[in-house]
Copies of this chain bind each other. A is one copy, B any other.
Amino acid sequence: MQFTSEQRLDDGVLEREFTLREIPGILWTPASASKPVPLILVSPPPLGLRKAYPRLLARARHAVADGYAAATIELPWSGDRPRSAAAEQALTDLHRALASGAVDNEIIDRLILPLVDKAVPEWRATLDALLALPEIDGPVGYSGGVISIGTRLAVVEPRISAAVLFAGSFVPRAILEEARQVTIPLHVLLQWDDEGNDRQLALDLFDAFGSKEKTLHANMGGHTGVPQYAGEEANRFFARHLK
């Protein structure tokens, strides 16, 4: 992990860009902290870090104000990272299928499963590097992004203690099955009136999670209209589990 830039934001947040292998990322920490802090992995939507930066920063500022470090990395094939011809083809096929009103599982699998297979080891390597820093220790929370990535990470990465997941992307059937193996506390946000989202699938996924403590918060406001109070409730979920 190499830090490539560093700036102190006006509210006591230290923002450092880094690269890990070829993956760009951003780490936000309290500019002054007397002891190591817990960590929240803030997974981006599949827009590229640059486009997602304003809302990632807003979440990171909250996290740092609440006493955590926050970190994000670019998703595979997003932002300035090399493209995948197969992923682009799957996305083209998805858009064509959406336009015709018939999305089949094969396209979802082709789009999402390779992304999960590549992103999850990258997040784990990032976690290795972050936890080696003297200013960070556990526990670790995960907040994101592409819900299939969060689901797989919750299954395979024992250092993640609790996760806030956003229902709102396509989910392969295989991930629905993996969800049964999740046992950590989960806080799932669903935008009830998100027209681009398969609400029933989101409810099926919530039902499938094996966690004894799982909470679903459904709100109005469309895909990007998560109410402010819903974000605050998610922060309180982390406060209950990461402190």
Interface residues of A (CB under 8 A from B): 192, 203, 206-207, 211-220, 227, 229-230, 233, 236, 240
Pairwise interchain contact B229-A236, C-beta atoms closer than 8 A:
yes
A217 to B219, CA, bound (A): 9
Closest 9 pairs (CB-CB, A-B): A216-B218, A215-B219, A217-B217, A233-B233, A214-B220, A213-B220, A212-B220, A229-B240, A215-B217
Question: Which of A211, A230, A236: most chain B Cβ within 10 A?
Answer: A236
Pairwise interchain contact B192-A216, C-beta atoms closer than 8 A:
yes
Pairwise interchain contact B213-A216, C-beta atoms closer than 8 A:
no
Closest B residue to A217 using CB positions: B217
Give chain B residues whose Cβ lies under 8 Å from the Cβ of A207: 192
A selection of 23 A-B contacts at a CB cut-off of 8 Å is A192-B206, A192-B207, A192-B216, A203-B203, A206-B218, A211-B220, A212-B220, A213-B220, A213-B227, A214-B219, A214-B220, A215-B217, A215-B219, A215-B220, A215-B230, A216-B216, A216-B217, A216-B218, A217-B217, A218-B218, A229-B236, A229-B240, A233-B233
A120 to B27, CA, bound (A): 55
A217 to B233, CA, bound (A): 11
Closest B residue to A214 using CB positions: B220
A230 to B217, CA, bound (A): 11
- Looking at the assembled complex, report how far the CB atom of A76 sits from the nearest CB atom of chain B, in whole angstroms: 32
Pairwise interchain contact A215-B218, C-beta atoms closer than 8 A:
yes
Give chain B residues whose Cβ lies under 8 Å from the Cβ of A220: 211-215
Question: Which of A192, A211, A215: most chain B Cβ within 10 A?
Answer: A215
A217 to B218, CA, bound (A): 7
A97 to B203, CA, bound (A): 28
A169 to B211, CA, bound (A): 25
Give chain B residues whose Cβ lies under 8 Å from the Cβ of A218: 206, 215-216, 218
A122 to B211, CA, bound (A): 42
A203 to B240, CA, bound (A): 27
Known pairs A203-B203, A215-B230, A217-B217; list 8 more (Cβ under 8 Å): A192-B207, A211-B220, A214-B220, A215-B220, A215-B227, A229-B236, A229-B240, A233-B233
